[in-house]
Structure 1
Amino acid sequence: MKKINLELDEKQYQTLVEAVFLGTWMVNSTKLELDEDFEEIRELVLSKYKEAGLEDKISYQEAFEVHDLQVDYERQLFEKYVDEYEEFSFWDMLIEKLSEKRLKEEYGDISVPLSDEMMERRLQIEEELGNELEERGITNLELK
């Protein structure tokens, strides 16, 4: 198999480390068993940490024979990227699911792809719900 070489400066390498960590976390966060292809790439990228002077952010876990991010660095990445993403995704998915529910209430079974009328109505519902949630948060939501 053909090998690919990359030349990165230290800043680019650190960005690659962060991207690989976040991507691998996303792929594996919902699985019982780790995706070995992602783990292999993660290990390959993290193994070059000394060359980039990232001993304060990455270490080698001899007991498990893997490289890992320091706990504080990992926490920083979660706070900087994951928390914001989850907050945004939550509201976006909530609006999407609530609009689907309301659309089904109005039209019954929904055909895929949606008709132009249904698509227009869905966008209208999403906008209404988005405005409502932005204004009042979840205080008006009720479970039945």
Structure 2
Amino acid sequence: MKKIHLELNENQYKKLVESVFLGTWMVNSTKMELDEDFEEVRELVLSKYKEAELEDKINYQEAFGIHDLQMDYEKELFTKYVDEYEEFSFWDMLIEKLSEKRLKEEYGELTSPLSEEMVERRLQLEEEIGEKLEEQGITNLDFNK
């Protein structure tokens, strides 16, 4: 198999570490067993931490034979990226699912792709639901007329 070599400065390597950590977390967070292909890439990237002088952010866990992020660094990444992403996607998915439910109530089973009329109605519903959520919040949400 052909090998690919990258030259990165310290900042680029740090961003690669963050990207690999976040990507691997996303892929594996919903699985009972880790995706070994992602884990292999994660291990390869993290194993170069000394070259980038990231001993304060990454360590080698000899008992398990793997490299891992320090707990504080991991927490920092979750706070900086994951929490914001989850908050945004929660509202986005809620609006999407509620509008889909309403669309099914109005049109019956949905076809794929949606007709132009259905797409327009879905966008209208998403806007209405989004505004309602923004005004009332989730605890006061009521779509019954």
Q: TM-score range by the shorter chain?
A: over 0.9
RMSD: 1.1
Q: How does 1:1-144 map to 2 (within 5 A)?
A: 1-141=1-141
Amino acid at match of 1:120: E
Determine helix, strand or coil for the equivalent of 1:89. Answer: helix
Amino acid at match of 1:70: Q
Amino acid at match of 1:13: Y
Structure 2 portions without partners, runs of 5+ = none
TM (normalized to structure 1)?
0.97
Indicate the percent of aligned positions where both proteins have the same amino acid. Answer: 80
TM (normalized to structure 2)?
0.96
- 2:132·2:141 contact (CA, 8 Å) conserved in 1? no
Amino acid at match of 2:89: S
Deviation at 1:142, TM superposition (A): 5.2
For 1:41-100, what per-residue CA distance to the aligned partner results, in whole angstroms no more than 9, with x for missing partners? 000000000000000000000000000000000000000000000000000000000000
Structure 1 portions without partners, runs of 5+ = none
Aligned residues: 143
